[in-house]
Amino acid sequence: MKEAVLFAPGDMRIVEVDKPTPGPGEVLVQIKAVGICASDIHWLLDGRIGETIMTKPLILGHEFAGIIAEVGAGVTNVKPGDRVAVEPAVPCFKCDMCAEGEINICRNIKFCGTPPTDGALREYMVWQARLVEHIPDSVSLEEAAMLEPLAVGVYAVELAEPLQGKSVGVLGAGAIGLSILQAAKVAGCGRTLVTDLISERLALAKKLGADVTFDAHDAELGSSVKELTGGRGLDVVFEASGENDAMQQAIEMVRPGGVVVIGGIPYDDRINISASIARRKALNIRLLRRSKDTLKRSIDLLRDKKVDVASYVTHKYPLDQVVEAFETARTRKDGALRVVVEI
């Protein structure tokens, strides 16, 4: 079978290997669609994210869906031929954090496409059966690959709930930001504001329910927020761009006593905000760590047509053109939002 292997920063190649076999409690997934996330691009360019460093060849890809090809002994929740979405995080289910239900911050967690755990940019992969979920016939495999960012967005909103009637800002209109926007609308939020630097993304945000959108560098953004909120400030602001300018904007836009949820991954691994503003406003600042038990809920939202993730997918490439796919995602060529590798 074929797999795309990152041997070193900037050096990704297609190689041929033997197809794996699932063991007890495992399934063999025939991968059909893999989304390229900003974190994948970090790995490609730098071979690291923060303190986590790539020390051996790595297969990227954690947004994916496929078809069950084989099941190992004892597997009863799925069978060959089933179409599935996959939870990319593997908690140990044994540590104190897992015992408290905080599986997203498991002390021994492994994550697909993050050292030392290989990801989904390959034709087949073995995964734990308990971490795959059936998808309904109405959901395409490309949409199912977008369930991972949707699940992150749903969890981000959970961190800020209750949102009923509250004004919400989303800074960054990538797949995570748009997922937050849609999850916030489902949660019954009030007026929504979205910022980004790419006009195509702002147009999509409007289509998906944003009441107002702004270029993130608009000099009038601060005064516009005051006008929109009667001088009060936004109740909740989600930062989903990974830019320190946006993190500073978030604490400036939010009202005193408001909530800021930081979800972006800063390129330099530093978060810089004005402590005096955050302190004076007595802000509740929360850090988003992936998702937590929100994959099933995300599937239900998609099944019930309460959210749209198909519109995230702007470009598609076959596995043999994975390097070109990453370049399109990196440069955001032609308004690229989510590039999907079809296998």
CA dist 207 and 80 (Å) reads 38
Over pLDDT 90: what percentage of the chain? 93
- pLDDT value at residue 7: 98
- pLDDT value at residue 265: 86
What average pLDDT does this structure show over 116-126? Answer: 97
Please, are residues 227 and 250 in contact by the beta-carbon 8 Å criterion? Answer: no
Q: Please give the model's pTM, rounded to 2 decimal places.
A: 0.95
Across the chain, mean pLDDT equals 96
| 120: nearest Cα among 229, 6, 224 | 6
User: With 90 as the cut, is the pLDDT of residue 51 above it?
Assistant: no
CA dist 177 and 162 (Å) reads 18
Instruction: List, for residues 247-304, the tens digit of each pLDDT value.
Output: 999 999 999 999 999 999 888 888 989 999 999 999 999 999 999 999 999 999 999 9
| Sign, CA torsion 44/215/234/272 | positive
Instruction: List, for residues 28-41, the tens digit of each pLDDT value.
Output: 999 999 999 999 99
User: With 90 as the cut, is the pLDDT of residue 50 above it?
Assistant: no
- pLDDT value at residue 266: 85
CA dist 60 and 82 (Å) reads 24
Question: Rg (Cα) of the chain, in Å, rounded?
Answer: 20
Please, are residues 6 and 33 in contact by the beta-carbon 8 Å criterion? Answer: no
User: With 90 as the cut, is the pLDDT of residue 328 above it?
Assistant: yes
